Amino acid sequence: MLVSLLFKAYTFKAKVPFRKHIFYRQVFDALFEAHDFTKGESFNRPKHSGLDIDDFHAVLRELGFSSAKLGRVDLSKDKILGLLADIRERRKDIKFQPGDFLLDLVSTVPLFTCEGSEYNWAHKSVQDYFASQFIFMDAKKDQRPILSAIYNSEQGGRFANVLDILHDTDPAIVRQTIIRKLLQDFVVHYENSYNKTFPGVTAAALQARKQRTFQGKTALTALRVTPEDMLPRKGNAGPHLAFAKLKKIMSDIGLSPKNSMGIIYGFSSVETLALAATQENRTGTFLLPILAAKKYDFVSVCADHNTMLAVEVLTENHPIFIDDDPASPLNSPENFEKTTAAIRSEVVLDYPKSKIALHEIEKEIAESVERDPLTSGI
């Protein structure tokens, strides 16, 4: 479906923009302005809703954000009509009938598909675009609370592409809210962890551990795994049995099954005692891959995630957290770096560069407050 949208945008304007928000606006314009060449080049399909391109876009922004909050790209007919009725109530300046607008969405401006009584966004990225533009254009005084809520949500990763597109549209608001918060949290974490004495552990190893543990809480255990445990369950009914076992063990020590990721190292074709890890990510860290893609100099990609930590260090079915206790067997000189490598963290933050970036953001915020208002001199 995304390929067909790309083709539609290209036929409308023979140039594909690199910035996401411009690309999706071009897709929308192409669909809204589409001519029906079977009836002559000058024929435009009339819209059932009677809305012009700007008002149509405004309703879609509201619909994109409302449905993104639900975490759904598929909506029942009753649900989408209810959302459109709520939008009509909020946007009294735009006159339309929900049923007519829905008809437009599957016919004259086909950004949705319809299967029976289910209506689906043509692609999740289209929903993400309109949600991002709602935050940019319509949220106004609520921009910062919305972005803060996304950052602090355990399910904030659902909005990763929304924030990616918003960053292209308005990088300043993203920098001054969630990037600032991320850097603040990292600096606090870095300065307040692993400050004890770890004999035989290098400064570089301590730095790497501080960087990776910012990702969240990680616990390790020894897990007995059979080849059958790693087979897919019938009808894809949940995770492999090995991961189901791991989730049960880790949930007993307080790691959220909903917001954690299991990793099993060293399983084989015979029954074995494998090293297993569960990681519960810190809120906001879903931003790290986005910042790496944007080429911020305070982020870097981790080169190695392999661990050579011996499973014998651990006790079967008795998980132990990776923490800054010098007495932990995971923090002995021979195990410290191997333990760090068991922490899944694709991207890490650089402490000195993060402090510099945070200072620059604070300065940017201060200058925006001190700047003469636009009305000065009128």
Q: What is the CB-side half-sphere exposure of residue 176 using CA atoms within 13 A?
A: 15
Picking from 278, 268, 201, 284, the residue whose alpha carbon sits closest to that of residue 245 is: 278
For residue 274, the model assigns a pLDDT of 87
Question: What's the pLDDT at 255?
Answer: 83
Q: Whole-angstrom Cα distance, residue 287 to residue 283?
A: 9
pLDDT of amino acid 38: 42
Contacts for 279 with CB less than 8 Å, ≥ 6 apart: 215, 216, 217, 218, 260, 261, 263, 343, 344
Bridge partners of 29, per DSSP, are: none
Which residue stretches of the chain have pLDDT < 50?
7, 35-38, 40-42
pLDDT above 90 as % of the chain: 66
Going by C-alpha positions, the residue among 45, 49, 28 that lies closest to residue 103 is 49
132: tokens are 């991002």
- Extents of the domains making up the chain: 2-138, 216-281+303-344
- According to DSSP, residue 46 is labeled P
Q: At what angle do helices 180-191 and 351-370 cross, to 10 degrees?
A: 140
Single pTM value for the model: 0.88
- Residue 114's contacts (CB-CB under 8 Å, 6 or more residues apart) are 106, 120
